[in-house]
Amino acid sequence: MSVRGVVRAGGRVVPTRSALRNDCPQPGVRTTVLYVHFHAPEGALGEEAYDGLLALLAEVTPVVEALPPDAALAEVRGAVRYFGHDPAELATLLRVRALARYGADCTIGIANNPTLARMVARDGPPGAVRTLPDGPDAVAGFMARKPVAALPGVGPATARALCAYGLDSVGRVAEAPLHTLERILGAAAGRRVHERARGIDPTPVTPDARARSMGAEHRFATDELDPDHRRRALLALADGLGARLRGSGQVAQGLKLTVRYADGSSSTRAKSFAEPTAHSPDLIAAAYALHAALALQRARVRAVTLRAERLRDGGAAAHQLSFDPADEKARRVEAVIDRARARFGPGVVGPAAALDRHDDVA
């Protein structure tokens, strides 16, 4: 007996992509975007566990967008129609399976677009399923008293600029004229913040295969206020990432910096390279630029994380030749350092200005 729209895998019946396509929504169901934040029992997900959790989401819907290192977006409109369960029931099922298979709890926010789903997930303690009902009144009521920094994509510098004009809550930003926000933040950023404050986010959930990445984190022993100390931590992380990339024969096409604060919130900035690289000075310069772009002032920083993203085979990557003798010398020195580390260990040599190797680097 065959079942239309499903395939059998390992004794299980799994819906195909066509069975769960998004062009056949259940009537009246719009709140179908899930933002899933995974919480590992040991505090940090390994890449193998994260890949497994993404596969778990794919058992329910093929429309899964990976958000490394510990989150994902999922569009379950087709799954609601196929399985006959509402989004909250599907989210509860996903949470139970994540706990049973990987020992990882998760917080899941459900709304009608990615921005609202993120904010709903973060609106309370971890480990719950939270749903924001559809409709302008429910959205406006939810957003009104949120601090402006709660909007995804609004970092400390943008929040300070808005607060300087008295726009310290999402509700006030939503009521502000568009031209005022464009004058404060610039045309593109002003329009984006104006839309997000009103709960508007046309960005679709885009299925993707998770790009290969490599990361490193430094956790400070106490909340760190000194920007020079943070730069020293970034120097050690970027130098270490460069060595690991070269050792594995890979290059990175981008670099992402995540700064976690004492209150549990975080800011993220990312940069794409003009050409893929594993050269430590390139990684260090990018890390410093990303840190400077956050414009942190009096921020109590708990940890900094660097992640080299969109990795590819270094042998197949093109490298623009340079006529700068200093660049060529730096690469020769780098090769000598790599050989010394391979023979005597990674801690045998490193930047003199970096944090002590005994500091807490994961």
Q: pLDDT tens digits, the chain, 362 residues: what are they?
A: 333 344 333 444 344 444 444 434 344 457 899 999 998 876 667 777 888 899 899 999 999 998 877 899 999 999 999 999 999 999 999 999 999 998 999 999 999 999 999 999 999 888 899 999 988 899 999 999 899 999 988 888 889 999 999 999 999 999 999 999 999 999 988 999 999 999 999 999 988 766 677 888 899 989 999 999 999 999 999 988 998 888 888 899 899 999 999 887 888 899 999 888 888 899 999 999 999 999 888 889 999 999 998 888 877 655 555 555 666 666 677 777 767 666 656 555 556 555 454 344 33
Return all residues near 186 (Cβ < 8 A) that are at least 6 apart: none
Domains (range + CATH), the chain: 16-134 (3.30.70.270), 141-197 (1.10.150.20), 213-314+322-344 (3.30.1490.100)
Dist CA 223 CA 156 (whole Å)? 17
Closest among 152, 139, 89, 148 to 111, alpha carbons compared: 139
Instruction: State which amino acid sits at residue 248.
Output: S
Taking the C-alpha atoms of residue 208 and residue 68, their distance in angstroms, rounded to an integer, is 12
Give pLDDT, residue 156.
84
Supply the pLDDT for residue 345: 61
Q: Where are the beta strands (DSSP E) in 185-283?
A: 213-224, 250-261, 266-277
pLDDT of residue 324: 57
Q: What is the pLDDT of residue 48?
A: 75
Which residue bears the tokens 């975007």? 33
Q: What is the pLDDT of residue 192?
A: 93
SS3 state at 217: strand
Residue 29: how many CB atoms within 10 A of its CB?
15
Burial status of residue 285 (CB atoms within 10 A of its CB: 0-12, 13-18, 19 or more): middle
Q: Rounded CA gap, 16 and 7, in Å?
A: 7
Residue 210: DSSP 8-state: P
| Predicted pLDDT at 23 | 39
pTM here is 0.61
Q: What are phi and psi of 49, to 5 degrees?
A: -65, -40
Per-residue pLDDT, 216: 86
